């Protein structure tokens, strides 16, 4: 009972957040798409009708039918099974890229924003150098240098994206560290470590969380683009971009081959964008005050 009383404000805040999410149909749609993607990824081995790498030369490039709902590819592999297993790869790709980029960028942005000085200047100038290059071009260069594998493609995208999170965290910390409650904490002798990780960091993470949700779909899209040009997942990995790359020679007479993996990418990006937009509104303190 005492434990419930202790965390009563947090529980009330969480309930209010879920209330705001329920009031937004588009946010619910985005959340539903992401939950469906996670379920498909987790249960891929149980719900896919065939082995994703099973070759059947008799049924090459067959259109959608009751036997193969999404048709087959150039080696007779079931496209539905490959897309289902590709959901697992795409989920890991999004989590790894966004997780690494957000972690590295947030730490560097926090240091640069709070301590400033020469150290902050060096960090932000390095950030500006990375931001001067187009994301995909720089990722292609890094992947080509490291070698064309899915792991290297994920690492390249994380290297390309961390500066965006560093810049975002830097701007948040600059604003928060000038607020009155931070000045009050300093005046009573709160240590820098506690100030950083107890007060400044938690209040800066909302923007990073929203940006990460929006970037999740973009990470999958860019990874698919790298796979499409041969710098990401390699055959026979059932990655959505690699499947579309394999289909480019059959566009005129096998419409289903690129269509279904393309739709999978489209729906995933749509879901993450809707959820990200909804979270941005839900976590906005000004909107919460208006609703309250």
Q: What is the CATH number of the domain that holds 108?
A: 1.10.3720.10
Instruction: Please give the pLDDT value at position 163.
Output: 93
Residue 192, CA distances (Å) to 7, 65, 111, 173 in order:
26, 64, 11, 14
Instruction: Please give the pLDDT value at position 217.
Output: 87
Q: CA-CA-CA-CA torsion for 29, 31, 34, 38, nearest 10 degrees?
A: -130
Sorted by sequence, the CB contacts under 8 Å of residue 197 that are 6+ apart come out as none
Give domain status of residue 239, yes or no. yes
Give domain status of residue 259, yes or no. yes
Give domain status of residue 195, yes or no. yes
Q: Are 272 and 214 in contact (CB under 8 A)?
A: yes
3-state secondary structure of 81: helix
Give domain status of residue 107, yes or no. yes
d(C-alpha 144, C-alpha 142), whole Å: 5
What pTM did the predictor assign?
Answer: 0.86
Give domain status of residue 159, yes or no. yes
d(C-alpha 211, C-alpha 276), whole Å: 7
Domain count, the chain: 1
Q: Are 111 and 117 in contact (CB under 8 A)?
A: no
10-residue stretch averages of pLDDT, the chain, 292 residues long: 56 67 81 93 92 89 92 93 94 92 92 87 91 87 90 92 92 85 78 79 84 89 89 88 89 90 93 85 59 50
d(C-alpha 145, C-alpha 156), whole Å: 10
What is the extent of the structural domain holding 174? 86-285
Q: Interior CA angle at 66 toward 233 and 73, to 5°?
A: 25
Instruction: Please give the pLDDT value at position 48.
Output: 92
Give domain status of residue 69, yes or no. no
Exposed / middle / buried, residue 200 (Cβ in 10 Å: 0-12, 13-18, 19+): buried
What are residue 78's phi and psi, to 5 degrees? Answer: -70, 120
The alpha-carbon radius of gyration of the chain (Å, integer) is 23
Give domain status of residue 70, yes or no. no
Instruction: Please give the pLDDT value at position 14.
Output: 66
Give domain status of residue 8, yes or no. no
Instruction: Please give the pLDDT value at position 8.
Output: 61
């Amino acid at each position: 009972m005492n434990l419930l009383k202790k965390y009563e404000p947090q529980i009330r805040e969480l309930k209010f957040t879920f209330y705001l999410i329920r009031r937004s149909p588009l946010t619910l749609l985005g959340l539903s798409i992401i939950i469906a993607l996670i379920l498909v990824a987790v249960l891929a081995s149980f719900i896919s009708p065939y082995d994703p790498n099973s070759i059947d030369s008799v049924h090459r490039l067959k259109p959608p039918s009751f036997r193969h709902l999404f048709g087959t590819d150039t080696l007779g592999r079931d496209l539905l099974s490959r897309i289902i297993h590709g959901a697992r790869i795409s989920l890991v790709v999004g989590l790894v890229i966004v997780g690494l980029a957000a972690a590295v960028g947030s730490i560097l942005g926090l240091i640069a924003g709070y301590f400033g000085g020469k150290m902050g200047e060096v960090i932000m100038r390095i950030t500006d150098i990375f931001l001067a290059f187009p994301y995909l071009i720089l990722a292609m260069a890094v992947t080509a240098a490291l070698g064309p594998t899915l792991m290297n493609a994920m690492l390249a995208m994380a290297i390309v994206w961390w500066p965006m999170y560093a810049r975002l965290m830097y701007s948040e910390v600059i604003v928060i560290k000038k607020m009155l409650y931070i000045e009050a904490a300093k005046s009573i002798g709160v240590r820098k470590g506690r100030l950083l990780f107890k007060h400044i960091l938690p209040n800066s993470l909302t923007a990073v969380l929203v940006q990460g949700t929006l970037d999740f779909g973009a990470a999958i899209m860019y990874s698919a683009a790298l796979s499409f040009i041969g710098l990401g997942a390699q055959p026979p990995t059932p990655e959505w971009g690699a499947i579309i790359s394999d289909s480019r020679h059959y566009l005129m007479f096998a419409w289903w081959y690129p269509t279904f993996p393309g739709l999978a990418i489209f729906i995933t990006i749509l879901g993450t964008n809707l959820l990200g937009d909804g979270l941005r509104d839900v976590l906005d303190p000004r909107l919460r005050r208006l609703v309250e």
